[in-house]
Structure 1
Amino acid sequence: MKQNKLHNIKETGFKVPDGYFNQLEDVILSDIKLKKMSSDSGFKLPKDYFDTLEDTIINKVSAKKSTKVIPLFKKRTLIYISSVAAAVLLLFNLSIFEKELTFDSLDIETVENYIIDENIGSYEIAALLPEEDLLEENFIEYNVETETVETYILNNLDIEDIIVE
């Protein structure tokens, strides 16, 4: 219904302020005069300003005043504290507090892990043993039953240990 009445509208809906067209010419002319006057900003630079600017800045930056530095710690105090710390460190690192290690105090699992982690082979272990321990007679004297070997293999070895790559 509203669309049917659109052809009957006579007014645009826009309004102009009173006396707008009477003052329009004066406003336009004053705007043109203002633009002509604003082309000259009124600021003037000294002669050769940009040629000497770099030297002036470098002179101001490089001329630093020496300031007195007050240390937080005096050298004597620092040396005293360092010597006390070194004495305490030496005290804890000396062998007074250490127990003597024996084969009985070593944990078997620790030794086994060390040998595995360091990739120590049987020849290197044999080099550490005296020759009397490696004689063939020492190995012949032991009589090991088959059931004992089978039980040891089942209890202590994994399949990965038995399979040779």
Structure 2
Amino acid sequence: MENEIKHSVAFLRKQIGNKAGFSTPSNYLNNLEDDITIKISEESFTKETSFKVPDAYFNNLEDDIFAKVTSEEKETKVISFKERVLKILPFAAAASIALFIGLNSFVFNTSNSNTIDTLSDDDFEYWLDASTIDTDDIVEILPEDILEINEFSFALIEDETIEDYINSIDNTSLLNELN
């Protein structure tokens, strides 16, 4: 008997396929409660409309909208540039004074005085090569009380001192400079 049932079930599956006669859509049971609540809420609403449009409402609608949109022109307040500048001027003056004092105390307070000691040998040699100083310029700078003939004469220098100086000079460096 079981054999006959198996054959009949197999016959039916061949005819209708593997599908059973009844099926539910996917995610049907997940949203079922929400769907039922929505249906009950819709049925509880009344069928009549609670709002009525007044008679001739649309005849005057455009005029009413334009009346609300276009209002009377308001008087605009004009603030002149002169008033703004006069309000800002005291603050700008105070800021510039504070900046001036700050810069004088921090930036310009450095004492970088240039002396002959601060010059490098190359700078001094360049100045001597580039400058055209003659004896008249030196005479104008020196005070008059030291301008005696003995000050500039070589008679006061002893011969031994000159010889010692010449012997102390490195002769090879002089020869290299001449080449």
TM-score where L is the length of structure 2: 0.29
What TM-score comes out, normalization by structure 1 length? 0.30
